[in-house]
Amino acid sequence: MIWQQLQSLVGSYPLAVRGLGMTVMLSLISLVLGTLLGFGLGVLRTGGNRLISTAIGTWVDLIRGTPFLVQIFLIFFILPELGVELDAFTAGIIALTNLAACFICEIVVAGIRSVPTGQVEAALASGLSRWQRMRQVVLPQAMRIVLPPLVGQYVLLIKDSSVVSAIGLTDLTRVGWLVVQRVPNGLLVFFLVGLGYFIVCYPLIMLARRLERRMGAAHGEVQL
């Protein structure tokens, strides 16, 4: 019987590849967009304008304080009520990008705040503009703090992308649901689904660990 199940699983191979492709695509697009947006929000939040800073802070808290599944449902089901038609893929990208941006914003803010005040004062005193101070002095130093948790966040993002199966996107998790209807062995099917995610995430976990070690070593040399 297990032999039959395995044969049937092999037959689902193209579906699995499609699912994995969807998961990677969703993650990659929202990871790139979320990183750009997250850095932008982080820089703005520390920029000194209290109104902008509060607005971003409130939004980040809202997103961090609500389940991702609920956010996806809100975007996918509520926006069309307001006249914004979205296909599931776009809705998934928007939800994931927004989630990533909020978490990355927090990481970037922590990195920027870790740069000693004296550095900003030195840049200020030599006449660098706000953007030049950020670009030349603050961000390069903040990156040491930002990089390891940033890569860690990518891992979380890839795993969170499984939630988009709830709005009907055929990602790796949904492929699991589809296959398990034909091959009644949930343990085996979802073991393979889990393995698929792990294969994508593990290199990133290793990278985060290496970065952390390297940044730690580099920090030993830096006099603050």
Partner 1 sequence: MIEFRGVNKWFGALNVLKDITLSVEPGEVVVVCGPSGSGKSTLIRCINGLETIRDGDLVVDGRRLGDPATNMTLLRAEIGFVFQSFNLYPHKTALENVTLAPIHVRKIQRAEAEKAGRELLAKVGLADKVNAYPAQLSGGQQQRVAIARCLGMRPKIMLFDEPTSALDPEMISEVLDVMVAVAEEGMTMMVVTHEMGFARKVAQRVVFMDAGAIVESGTPEEFFSDPKTDRSRAFLSKILRH
Interface pick for partner 1 out of 80, 126, 184, 199 (rule CB under 8 A): 126
Task: Name the residue among 212, 174, 185, 187 with its Cα closest to residue 16.
Answer: 174
> Cα(73)–Cα(105) distance, rounded to whole angstroms?
23
Q: Name the segment binding partner 1 (CB under 8 A); options: 25-33, 72-80, 92-100, 121-129.
A: 121-129
**Tokens 């982080």 -> residue:** 42
Q: Is 129 near partner 1 (CB under 8 A)?
A: yes
Cβ atoms of residues 18 and 175 within 8 Å: yes
125 binds partner 1 (CB under 8 A): yes
Question: Does 215 participate in binding partner 1 (rule CB under 8 A)?
Answer: no
First to last CA, the chain: 65
Tokens 């998934």 belong to 92
Question: Is residue 214 part of the contact set for partner 1 (CB under 8 A)?
Answer: no
Q: Which is nearer to partner 1, 120 or 188 (CB)?
A: 120
Site string for partner 1, 130-159 (x = CB under 8 A): --x---xx--xx------------------
**Interface residues toward partner 1, by CB under 8 A:** 116, 118-119, 121-129, 132, 136-137, 140-141, 221-224
